[in-house]
Chains A and B, each alone.
Chain A
Amino acid sequence: GESVGLHLPTLSVQEGDNSIINCAYSNSASDYFIWYKQESGKGPQFIIDIRSNMDKRQGQRVTVLLNKTVKHLSLQIAATQPGDSAVYFCAENTGGYNKLIFGAGTRLAVHP
């Protein structure tokens, strides 16, 4: 879900488990989507992207799934590690140049 105010939704997982972070996007015309990871005190880092003509894309330990019917995006992280602890943002490109609209973020907390 989306957060309001200071309270980001938090996903807590055990080290080694798989994580799934969800995102609902707003514009049915969006044609490009990105997941970013933001660690404390740093700028967002690119994780993986997907175009609207695809429904799944895999990277190293990460998979992004796109369901255009319900305007839903998910990020799956396999074998979650303590270094994966961060805030994760989805972003959509609503067309034209690369102007990304970001979701509010989900905090991932990985416990040993």
Chain B
Amino acid sequence: GAGVSQSPSNKVTEKGKDVELRCDPISGHTALYWYRQSLGQGLEFLIYFQGNSAPDKSGLPSDRFSAERTGGSVSTLTIQRTQQEDSAVYLCASSPRTGRTNEKLFFGSGTQLSVL
């Protein structure tokens, strides 16, 4: 079956522009996560969605970052007024069960964002 799909795979933008990154999770997965991976670094948690519950936004680095998840499926991560330090790979992951701990995340291939 299809895995987690992210688009675009690469995005180059100018400093100050807004960008939208899209994630299509695995069908039926109720939990969705966004992580950020800077060059040579580990993954930094950004935001978590679970069903109809309020998302956990505790990892968002500034108010320029926001995310939505429509209809419990597709998610969009928006970065406003991009800065060069926003350059990174943005990874989306989903997991199958409702609010459970101890289950593995399935990752997409990420969007490589480059801010010039």
Which residues in A have some Cβ–Cβ distance to B below 8 Å? 3, 5-8, 31-32, 34, 36, 41-46, 49, 51, 89, 91, 93, 95-105
Chain A interface, DSSP helix/strand/loop, else mixed = loop
- Tell me, in angstroms, the Cα distance from A16 to B48 when the chains sit together: 40
The tally of residues in B whose CB lies under 8 Å from a CB in A reads 29
Report the minimum CB–CB distance from A23 to chain B (whole Å): 10
B101 at the interface (CB under 8 A from A): yes
Chain A residues with CB under 8 Å of B103's CB are: 98
Chain A residues with CB under 8 Å of B50's CB are: 97
Report the minimum CB–CB distance from A98 to chain B (whole Å): 5
Asked if A6 contacts B39 (CB within 8 A), the reply is: yes
Asked if B39 contacts A104 (CB within 8 A), the reply is: no
Q: A3-B40, A6-B40, A105-B42 are in contact. Are A98 and B102 (CB under 8 A)?
A: yes
